[in-house]
């Protein structure tokens, strides 16, 4: 009896071990198959470079802005920009924002040199964008700059993914590249920069074959005169084009205040000026020392448009400045 019982227990143990082996075998096959599929899917994602998706199933990409990494829509369709440089760049990249600011006063028309701004909703000014107006547009992307909009960055992020360049002006090339990357137009952005490079090289070649001219860039104001230096938006374009500046207008810095007694520092073979105050230049012309400048005596004083020489800050403004320089330098 005991022998029969012992045999039966051994038999059951053998059966149990066989069943466990079968379970482990199928489990291993299943895991191998799952692992193979996972590996295959991972490989497909890497090869196809397909964008990730967010919690709502929308395709997204990551870009690096002035604050760090930002997850942005792969194909944004409702973009609000907070400065004219971004408006300028996006329009040239073939994208019309749904909202943009005026330069000085809310509701003012956008700069006349920009085409295709019809239908863009005004969202205040560059220095004071209206958060309620922005929110009402339900944007899926906001583009601004840290210099002007740092104080409202956190609030803007609550409305939509927000990408900020660090600053404006001298960094216009890097800004164009970030704007192009943000809206998935990198190739178009590089083409615009290449075309600009060819334009500046053409100006340099003409200057090499002709007598060079020093260009003075000034801004008469109601209470002072500003000489714009090389470390400015227009200054970078002149430097790229191989244009020399008067000695007093070289070096780092944005601008230099000039008194009437220092008017000689404004002189150049060409004197270009812009301002926003309507009577400021007329006041400068009345100065007895103004007539002593060679640029004045040679009738080489020209007004330029402040909307793109000073406040444009995008690739369209860059090309307008380049066109003006070529026109003034090689008019004859």
Q: Tell me, what DSSP letter sits at residue 120?
A: P
Quote the pLDDT of residue 181: 98
The tokens describing 80, both together, are 């609000």
Quote the pLDDT of residue 2: 39
Strand partners of residue 217:
272
Strand partners of residue 228:
255
Residue among 270, 269, 273 nearest 227 (CA): 273
The pTM of the full predicted model, rounded to 2 decimals, is 0.83
**Could you tell me the fold of the domain covering 60-184?**
Rossmann fold (3.40.50)
Quote the pLDDT of residue 38: 35
Domain boundaries, the chain: 60-184, 199-329
Quote the pLDDT of residue 54: 62
Same fold for the domain at 60-184 and the one at 199-329?
yes
Quote the pLDDT of residue 55: 52
Asked whether 121 and 133 are in contact (CB, 8 A), the reply is yes
Quote the pLDDT of residue 57: 52
Q: Tell me, what DSSP letter sits at residue 109?
A: P
Q: List, edge to edge, every strand of the sheet that includes 79-81.
A: 121-125, 99-102, 79-81, 141-145, 162-165
Beta carbons within 8 Å of 265's beta carbon, 6+ residues apart = 227, 246, 248, 249, 256, 258
One pLDDT digit (tens) per residue for the chain, 332 residues: 434 434 444 444 444 544 544 444 444 444 433 333 333 333 333 333 456 766 545 699 999 999 999 999 999 999 999 999 999 999 999 999 999 999 999 999 999 999 999 999 999 999 999 999 999 999 999 999 999 999 999 999 999 999 999 999 999 999 999 999 999 999 999 999 999 999 999 999 999 876 668 999 999 998 899 999 999 999 999 999 999 999 999 988 899 999 989 999 999 999 999 999 989 999 999 999 999 999 999 999 999 999 999 999 999 999 999 999 999 998 76
**Could you tell me the fold of the domain covering 199-329?**
Rossmann fold (3.40.50)
The tokens describing 55, both together, are 């919690």
Quote the pLDDT of residue 32: 39
Quote the pLDDT of residue 132: 98
Asked whether 225 and 257 are in contact (CB, 8 A), the reply is yes
Q: What is the DSSP string of 188-227?
A: HHHHHHHHHHHHHHHHHHHHHHS---BEEEEEE-SS-EEE
């Amino acid at each position: 009896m005991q022998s029969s019982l012992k045999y039966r227990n051994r038999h059951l143990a053998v059966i149990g071990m066989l069943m466990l082996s079968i379970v482990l075998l199928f489990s291993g096959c299943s895991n191998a198959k799952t692992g193979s599929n996972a590996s295959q899917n991972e490989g497909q994602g890497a090869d196809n470079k397909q964008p990730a998706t967010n919690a709502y199933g929308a395709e997204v990409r990551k870009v690096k802005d002035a604050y760090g990494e930002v997850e942005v829509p792969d194909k944004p369709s409702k973009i609000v920009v907070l400065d004219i440089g971004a408006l300028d760049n996006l329009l040239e990249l073939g994208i019309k924002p749904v909202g943009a600011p005026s330069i000085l006063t809310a509701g003012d028309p956008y700069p006349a040199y920009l085409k295709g701004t019809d239908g863009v909703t005004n969202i205040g000014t560059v220095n004071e964008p209206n958060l309620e107006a922005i929110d009402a547009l339900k944007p899926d992307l906001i583009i601004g700059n840290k210099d002007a909009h740092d104080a409202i960055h956190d609030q803007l992020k609550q409305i939509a993914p927000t990408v900020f360049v660090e600053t404006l002006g001298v960094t216009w090339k890097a800004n164009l590249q970030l704007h192009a990357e943000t809206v998935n137009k990198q190739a178009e952005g590089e083409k615009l920069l290449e075309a600009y490079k060819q334009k500046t090289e053409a100006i340099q070649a003409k200057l090499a074959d002709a007598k060079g001219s020093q260009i003075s860039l000034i801004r008469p104001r109601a209470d002072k005169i500003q000489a714009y230096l090389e470390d400015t938006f227009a200054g970078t374009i002149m430097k790229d084009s191989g244009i020399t500046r008067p000695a007093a207008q070289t070096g780092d810095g944005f601008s230099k205040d000039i008194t009437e007694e220092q008017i000689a520092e404004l002189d150049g073979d060409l004197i270009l000026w812009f301002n926003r105050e309507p009577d400021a230049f007329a006041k400068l012309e009345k100065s007895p020392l103004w007539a002593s400048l060679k640029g004045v005596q040679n009738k080489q004083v020209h007004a330029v448009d402040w909307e793109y020489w000073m406040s444009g800050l995008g690739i369209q403004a860059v090309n307008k400045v380049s066109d003006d320089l070529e026109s003034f330098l090689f008019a004859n």
